[in-house]
Amino acid sequence: MLPVIIGIIELAGYAATAYELYRTATNAYGEVKNYQDNIKKAKDEIKKIMQNLDKEITDKIDRQREKVLLTTLTSGDKQTNTTKSASGRPQVKSNLITAAIKQKIPFRPIISQICEKADHLPMIQLRKQKGKKLKDVIPKSKVDIVAKLLKMTAQELAGANVDEYIIIRLKQLAVNFMFEFMDELLKWRSPLKAEVCFGYDIKTKKYLAPQLASQTRIKRVGSELNPFWPMPYKGKGTIGADIIIPEYRGEALTLTNIFALVEIKFQNDRIDSEQFDNYEKLKDQCANLKHTSKITASEGFKLSLFRYPEDVAFKDDQNHKNSINQKVEVKNSEYG
């Protein structure tokens, strides 16, 4: 494995660890007022660690070499038998969703590690309050802040129950933050871009390229508390991808610079066929643009569905297999 990838995997561990430290010190529901300060502390801590990492992580990679690297990592993607056979949820699958589950992708170990960290956040222990109204669990003074965390209005939050839908949103937010940390520390040239928004032109029925704050940085229009919401594009047809892997991370993320789109679904999160139909339309549009631009490509990008914990990176030991099975069984018993 090339040094740059080793460095990025290491960085993922550091990012997750630092995130773990700051959020352990503050419960999103009990000490929300410290949330922003702790995010800053986490970033500062990772930056200190980052100084000791191999400088090659942020060095510019030759375009051809980078494409070969991504292709090599994709070919070597170690999947579990569950992923290879696309077994498990959803019980009824379209051919598109089945193919997305089986799709090989680069960086599965990193995605697995980040999802595992997000799945174990102490704030996820809200499941113990399941069935109660959020307004009865959260102090009135913190309703607005928590609403922003959950991409809800204060009115919506007031009537919401503590259920798996709320918990899934917190997990996804944690994943977004960790990947965004990585991107910032790699000078916005990370090979894993979180929460990428594609607008939609109703007149032309075409998707629009992501809005950028700089050449390689995704534009965010939310608050520091939750920079991912609201999304830069609004309106009917707008879609947001959990993770985009660019073909060339040193160049702007355009519709002709997408290697893979990865949609993450935690346990009990709804897997929507319409969502993947829209991704497929985006994929076809990207393929046509690549062809028009004379960019050699047999497809627009690789479309992947990553279910956690079913589709984590394969580890050749029985304990790991048992661990995955136990996670699925426990979660099903909790929410079934």
Of 213, 165, 169, the closest CA to residue 188 belongs to 213
pLDDT score recorded for residue 336 = 37
Is 320 or 234 the better-scoring residue by pLDDT?
Answer: 234
Domain range spanning residue 250? 3-335
Is there a contact between 50 and 14 (Cβ–Cβ < 8 Å)?
A: yes
Q: What's this model's pTM, rounded to 2 decimal places?
A: 0.80
Q: What is the pLDDT of residues 61-99, one digit of tens each?
A: 567 788 888 899 899 999 999 999 999 999 999 999 999
**β-strand partners of 240:** 197
Q: Strand locations in the chain, DSSP E?
A: 193-201, 206-208, 239-245, 260-265, 302-307
DSSP state of 233: S
Q: Strand locations in 156-282, DSSP E?
A: 193-201, 206-208, 239-245, 260-265
Helix axes 95-102, 273-292, angle to 10 degrees: 70
Judged by phi (left if over 0) then psi (alpha if -120 to 50, else beta), residue 47 lies in alpha
d(CA 285, CA 206): 8
Of 170, 165, 305, the closest CA to residue 228 belongs to 170
Task: Report how far apart, in Å, the C-alpha atoms of 15 and of each of 48, 249, 264 are.
Answer: 11, 19, 19
Q: Which residues contact residue 13 at a Cβ distance below 8 angstroms, ignoring those fewer than 6 apart?
A: 113
**Per-residue pLDDT at 335 exceeds 50:** no
Is 306 or 51 the better-scoring residue by pLDDT?
Answer: 306
Q: What is the pLDDT of residues 130-142, one digit of tens each?
A: 677 766 766 666 6
d(CA 287, CA 201): 18
Q: What is the pLDDT of residues 241-266, one digit of tens each?
A: 999 999 999 899 999 999 999 999 99
Per-residue confidence band for 300, with pLDDT thresholds at 50, 70 and 90:
very high
Sign of the torsion formed by the C-alpha atoms of 253, 255, 258 and 263: positive
CA angle 227, 168, 12 (to 5 degrees): 60
What total of structural domains would you count in the chain? 1
Is there a contact between 312 and 112 (Cβ–Cβ < 8 Å)?
A: yes
Give how far the C-alpha of residue 91 lies from the chain's centroid of Cα atoms, to the nearest Å: 23
Most confident listed range (27-41, 225-239, 274-288): 274-288
